């Protein structure tokens, strides 16, 4: 299903026609930002001779809704190692997202790989709490997200002392993990501030940047996402995704508005 919902048609001059699917909604009709970034990455892939380990930053200008859209791709720069691209996602005649991406050539296995910190310690998949499917959140019809017991109290109304979520994530249909999937999973975890302050907040994404380091050969990933500062009406979210071999898959940084909803 995920691949079908990334399909697009090249109409010429690097403009791709597509239909944004309602199968990846969160909070009613709001499309998940990771799904939208996956769509953008797929458009970039069509225009880039390099296909490996992209860095993509998307600025979310206005809300996208399920329905027809156009992805306008511009190749900014090409070299033997990198292709840099820009995408404008347009819907109903208005630009909704503008993204910059850099795709690289395949990395040799002998490059330096050293981590000063390792993957998060998480309880087993079976011991973690599954984020339930709800009528207004279609994303979890297709994605299985399990939260570690240390931060799963949010699901039952309990609050943590830390703005942090960690756990396991995979597709329910046992689909392999590729670049679009990594981008989806980088925005699948709830906003970490929910763990500390509860879900009585509206946290719309302003900017999301994902740096993919490795496309894994596993069907499941470990993730940890945390926030440290809520100020000036904004909150940051720093994320990591790891495979089951202890290898870093991606790091992310998200900036969102923080609006307290009156209870």
For 41-99, the pLDDT digits (tens) are 999 999 999 999 999 999 999 999 999 999 999 999 999 899 999 999 999 999 999 99
Residue 186's pLDDT is what?
Answer: 98
Residue 129 has pLDDT above 70, yes or no: yes
Task: In whole angstroms, give the CA distance from residue 228 to residue 205.
Answer: 16
pLDDT band at 154 (very low <50, low <70, confident <90, very high): confident
Positive or negative CA dihedral for 34, 40, 46, 52? negative
Residue 94's pLDDT is what?
Answer: 97
Short-list 140, 117, 145, CA closest to 129: 145
Percent of the chain at pLDDT > 70 equals 97
CB 185 within 8 A of CB 33: no
pLDDT band at 262 (very low <50, low <70, confident <90, very high): low
Residue tagged 């600025």 (tokens):
59
Residue 57's pLDDT is what?
Answer: 98
Give mean pLDDT, residues 2-6.
Answer: 95
Mind listing the pLDDT tens digit for each residue in 212-244? 999 999 999 999 999 999 999 999 999 999 999
Which structure tokens are listed for 205? 């994404």
Q: Domains of the chain (ranges plus CATH)?
A: 4-106+118-260 (2.40.160.210)
Mind listing the pLDDT tens digit for each residue in 36-47? 999 999 999 999
Residue 33 has pLDDT above 70, yes or no: yes
Short-list 16, 75, 19, 87, CA closest to 49: 75
| Alpha carbon 223 to chain centroid, angstroms | 11
Residue 85's pLDDT is what?
Answer: 98
CB 101 within 8 A of CB 87: yes
Residue 261's pLDDT is what?
Answer: 60
Percent of the chain at pLDDT > 90 equals 80
How far CA 86 is from CA of 45, 55, 64, 90, 105, in Å, comes to 12, 12, 18, 13, 18
Residue tagged 């992805």 (tokens):
71
Q: Which residues pair with 255 in a beta bridge?
A: 207, 236
The chain-wide mean pLDDT, for the chain, equals 93
Residue 109's pLDDT is what?
Answer: 67
Mind listing the pLDDT tens digit for each residue in 168-191? 999 999 899 999 999 999 999 999
Give mean pLDDT, residues 246-258.
Answer: 96
Residue 199's pLDDT is what?
Answer: 82
CB 45 within 8 A of CB 179: yes
CB 24 within 8 A of CB 31: yes
Contacts of 179 (CB under 8 A, 6+ apart): 38, 41, 45, 51, 54, 212, 215
Residue 107 has pLDDT above 80, yes or no: no
**What is the number of residues in the chain?**
263
Q: Output Rg (C-alpha) for the chain, integer angstroms.
A: 18
Contacts of 146 (CB under 8 A, 6+ apart): 125, 128, 129, 130, 131, 167, 168, 169
């Amino acid at each position: 299903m995920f691949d079908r919902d990334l399909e697009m048609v090249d109409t010429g001059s690097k403009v791709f026609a597509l239909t944004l699917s309602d199968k990846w909604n969160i909070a009613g009709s709001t499309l998940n930002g990771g799904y939208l970034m996956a769509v953008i990455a797929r458009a970039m892939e069509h225009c880039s001779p390099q296909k490996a380990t992209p860095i993509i930053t998307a600025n979310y200008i206005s809300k996208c809704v399920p329905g027809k859209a156009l992805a306008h791709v511009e190749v900014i720069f090409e070299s033997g190692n990198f292709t840099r691209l820009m995408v404008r996602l347009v819907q109903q005649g208005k630009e909704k997202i503008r993204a910059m991406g850099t795709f690289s050539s395949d990395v040799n296995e002998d490059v330096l790989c050293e981590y000063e910190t390792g993957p998060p310690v998480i309880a087993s998949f079976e011991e973690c709490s599954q984020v339930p499917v709800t009528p207004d959140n279609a994303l979890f019809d297709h994605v299985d997200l399990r939260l570690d017991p240390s931060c799963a109290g949010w699901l039952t109304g309990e609050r943590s002392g830390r703005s942090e979520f960690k756990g396991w994530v995979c597709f329910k249909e046992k689909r392999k993990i590729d670049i679009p999937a990594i981008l989806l999973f980088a925005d699948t975890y709830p906003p970490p501030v929910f763990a500390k302050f509860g879900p009585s907040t509206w946290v719309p994404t302003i900017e999301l940047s994902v740096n993919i380091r490795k496309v894994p050969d596993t069907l499941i990933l470990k993730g940890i996402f945390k926030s440290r500062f809520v100020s000036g009406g904004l909150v940051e979210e720093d994320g990591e995704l790891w495979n089951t071999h202890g290898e870093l898959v991606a790091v992310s940084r998200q900036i969102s508005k923080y609006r307290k909803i009156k209870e």
